[in-house]
Chains A and B, each alone.
Chain A
Amino acid sequence: MKNEYIPYPAEIVSIRKETYDVKTYKLRFSDPKLAESFSYKQGQFVQVSVLGTGEAPISITSSPTRKGFLELTMRATGRITNAIYGMHTGDTVFIRGPYGNSFPFKELKGRDIAFVAGGIGLAPVRSLINFIFDNRHLFGHITILYGAKTPKDICFKDEIKQWAGIRDTSVYVTVDRADETWRENIGVVTSLYPKAGLKGDNSTAVLCGPPVMIKFAARELLNYGFVSDNIIVTLERYMKCGIGKCGHCNIGGLYVCTDGPVFTWKQVGEFPEIENVF
């Protein structure tokens, strides 16, 4: 029987600074066999340990189509994420996983897809975005709507520019508060909907961001003709085990760590009322 709770060493191969408190870490398992065999699906997460400090769930932001390494993007929020923020190339963290369900491939194939992401919420959907671009012919028009608090909070700046250059793809970025350099949209992410010409037919929306953003962004999509089956969100809950045992992430009879973190807006609507998800 495998002991799922044991994490495995992974070396930080490179670090990219995204913002003043967010970095993207490229990791490779120290065991070459594991580095080779580790496979995951877009939308899954891992449990990252700093021995002596603890463990936190972090989404895999790289695409499974790009093999041999793993990318995680983390905001320095608390003990673990700050400990990792202070690490250097060549340092070791400990990883177990991958866990959780994933963005559905079959349901997305052949459709137009609208991504709506806020802040560091772009990290988990980036895995799916790059997966789609690596299989471009299988999908329709791609729209990426991204909102950040200020221009300084925008993650993946270079990549966003790159995406905008891919055929049949539109990218819109907005900030809540602008500075003097900002030339693009100002306002919450839903203010991009009219500009992007969102339409519900043959489209699926994929949302990730802070709870309030998800709530308003999803509700507003309904006004643009999206049905709740075609709105996909990824949820966050406090997690300890990641494998459906510790109980912390439960919502009704479901566990966000194993039944999620990807849910349809329809499923969210069926969550018990006492679970104040947003």
Chain B
Amino acid sequence: MLYFIEQTNIKNLIIDLVKRWNVVAPIEQDGKDVLLEKLPESSEKLEKYLGRISLNSKTANKQTLIPPKEIFFPQSELMFTYSTHSTAKKEFKIESPASTTDTDTAKPVLFFGIKPCDYYALNITGSFFKNGFEDFYYLSKSKNYLALIFGCITPPEPESCFCSSAGTGPVLSKEKGQDFDIQFIEENAGGYFVETGTDRGDEFIKANSRYFKDLSDRKSSVKRLKDIKERAFKNIELSVDFEKALTIMEEGARSGDTSTGLLNSVYGKIADRCIYCGSCLYACPTCTCFNIYDSTESTVVASERTFPLNGERVRVWDACVFSGYTREASGHNPRGESYTRAARRYEHKLKYDPAVYGRSSCTGCGRCLTACPVNIGMSTFIREITENHEK
């Protein structure tokens, strides 16, 4: 179905939505960076946010500095608190915050304004955390979330965005088999076309029908939307041969293939330049690795534990490019050599995830390149291997 919403109605819609949803929107910060923030319910506080929402391509279409995974998988997250009085007396307590009712998570999350590539990223992290053992924290935070996608008419980061190569943007189309609930496409400064792709999307429109005008039967609108989408694709400046890269990576899995030598030499070159800061992986919307540690009020030295002992078990983002990531207690480190860590980072996205999930876990969002202090990124890696691969 196709609808239209006037620019002036966006504000009122949000004011309505915060009552029923935990609305998360891209908010421009003082330094012009855009970050996802939860909108407050009180109208007074909300007012301060409404003027800083970054939705329009002409004004402030910026990519969020930190990817949306942080809403369901925060950089640092409390797993549970513990208190124990001694190991011998059975006085201890473990409490998980998410299991005691957190009023904030009782309302489902609604992303108001998420880029198509990030919408894909959430699908990817969501299925990862659901696969096999279910991840309690991610899944309880993300329960019943809804994403209102805002397509990119012009790419927010023209030098980094390569979504059209990865097949995740800059706008989505049902005709291409792309699933989505709701997508907003800016028509002009006056408002947005709103497309629904599922019953859930239609229900959302119905529940907020006073803000939306039904255009489904208007041929001219359908045509105009098609034109805008085509223009969006033309506006993408960076393109890479994603499919070819996937093929090369797959071939590289068979040892002895010509691709293996090429890949190893590219990993080596990257390893020489990379400073192993991990920025690319923290910025990546589909990287999910984490570390777990205990943080205690008193300092605990080996076996000399002092009581009472109160603290928290915390999980934090981690990155496979760090040398300690795979170091075992015995000192043995399977990925001690730096090029093996460079390889892991690319092979996970372009070789193993396609093999296991049937799709790459790189969305082409370009954040890794933007974040990298020495200018290495997924798009540069893909160009390096596809342009030097003869066949």
A binds B: yes
Residues of A near any B CB (own CB < 8 A): 1-7, 9, 30, 50-56, 77-79, 81-83, 85-88, 90-94, 210-211, 236-238, 240-241, 243-248, 250-253, 258, 272-277
In angstroms, Cα B72 to Cα A245, docked, is: 14
Contacts of A274 in B (CB 8 A): 267, 335, 339-340, 343-344, 347
A to B CB contacts below 8 Å, 8 in the list: A4-B134, A5-B313, A55-B294, A78-B329, A246-B291, A253-B353, A258-B132, A276-B340
Pairwise interchain contact B88-A243, C-beta atoms closer than 8 A: no
Pairwise interchain contact B79-A272, C-beta atoms closer than 8 A: no
Pairwise interchain contact A82-B294, C-beta atoms closer than 8 A: no
Interface residue stretch chosen among B90-98, B185-193, B199-207: B90-98
Contacts of A245 in B (CB 8 A): 128-129, 133, 135, 288, 290
Main secondary structure of the interface of B (DSSP, over half): mixed
In angstroms, Cα B343 to Cα A245, docked, is: 20
Q: Which of B290, B304, B327 lies in contact with A238, CB distance below 8 A? A: B327
In angstroms, Cα B315 to Cα A53, docked, is: 14
Chain B residues 118 to 134 lying within 8 A of chain A, measured CB to CB, are: 128-129, 131-134
In angstroms, Cα B296 to Cα A52, docked, is: 6
Pairwise interchain contact B292-A241, C-beta atoms closer than 8 A: yes
In angstroms, Cα B325 to Cα A54, docked, is: 16
Contacts of A272 in B (CB 8 A): 253, 347
In angstroms, Cα B129 to Cα A1, docked, is: 13
Q: Which of B96, B292, B304 lies in contact with A55, CB distance below 8 A? A: B292
B336 within 8 Å of A (CB atoms): yes
In angstroms, Cα B80 to Cα A7, docked, is: 10
Contacts of B356 in A (CB 8 A): 253
In angstroms, Cα B92 to Cα A93, docked, is: 11
Contacts of A240 in B (CB 8 A): 290-292, 318
Pairwise interchain contact A238-B325, C-beta atoms closer than 8 A: yes
Q: How many chain-B residues does the 8 Å CB contact rule pick out?
A: 69
Contacts of B313 in A (CB 8 A): 5, 51
With contact pairs A5-B79, A5-B80 given, residues A83 and B303 touching in the complex (Cβ less than 8 Å): yes
In angstroms, Cα B135 to Cα A2, docked, is: 9
Q: Which of A2, A77, A86, A90 lies in contact with B88, CB distance below 8 A? A: A90
Chain B residues 323 to 366 lying within 8 A of chain A, measured CB to CB, are: 325-330, 332, 334-337, 339-340, 343-344, 347-348, 351-353, 355-356
In angstroms, Cα B311 to Cα A56, docked, is: 18
Residues of B near any A CB (own CB < 8 A): 79-80, 82, 84, 87-88, 90, 92, 94, 96, 98-99, 128-129, 131-137, 139-140, 253, 255, 260, 267, 288-294, 296, 298, 300, 302-305, 309, 311, 313, 315, 318, 320, 325-330, 332, 334-337, 339-340, 343-344, 347-348, 351-353, 355-356
In angstroms, Cα B133 to Cα A258, docked, is: 9
CB distance from A196 to the nearest CB of B (A): 27
**Max count, chain B CB within 10 A of own CB: residue among A77, A246, A277:** A246
Pairwise interchain contact B332-A211, C-beta atoms closer than 8 A: yes
Pairwise interchain contact A6-B334, C-beta atoms closer than 8 A: no
Beyond the given A4-B133, A274-B344, please list 10 additional residue pairs across the A-B interface where CB-CB is below 8 A.
A2-B134, A3-B136, A4-B136, A9-B92, A51-B92, A52-B296, A53-B294, A56-B329, A77-B329, A273-B255
In angstroms, Cα B305 to Cα A275, docked, is: 37
Contacts of A244 in B (CB 8 A): 131-133
With contact pairs A52-B311, A53-B300, A54-B294 given, residues A238 and B328 touching in the complex (Cβ less than 8 Å): yes
CB distance from A100 to the nearest CB of B (A): 11
Pairwise interchain contact B88-A91, C-beta atoms closer than 8 A: yes
Contacts of A277 in B (CB 8 A): 334
Contacts of B288 in A (CB 8 A): 245, 247
Pairwise interchain contact B292-A237, C-beta atoms closer than 8 A: no
With contact pairs A53-B305, A253-B355 given, residues A92 and B87 touching in the complex (Cβ less than 8 Å): yes
Q: Which of B135, B136, B255, B320 lies in contact with A247, CB distance below 8 A? A: B320
With contact pairs A54-B293, A245-B288 given, residues A238 and B326 touching in the complex (Cβ less than 8 Å): yes
CB distance from A268 to the nearest CB of B (A): 12
In angstroms, Cα B300 to Cα A63, docked, is: 34
Contacts of B267 in A (CB 8 A): 274
Pairwise interchain contact A275-B340, C-beta atoms closer than 8 A: yes
Pairwise interchain contact A85-B303, C-beta atoms closer than 8 A: yes
Query: Which residue of chain B lies nearest to A242 when distances are taken between CB atoms in the complex?
Result: B133
Query: Which residue of chain A lies nearest to B91 when distances are taken between CB atoms in the complex?
Result: A92
Pairwise interchain contact B335-A275, C-beta atoms closer than 8 A: yes
Contacts of A241 in B (CB 8 A): 290, 292
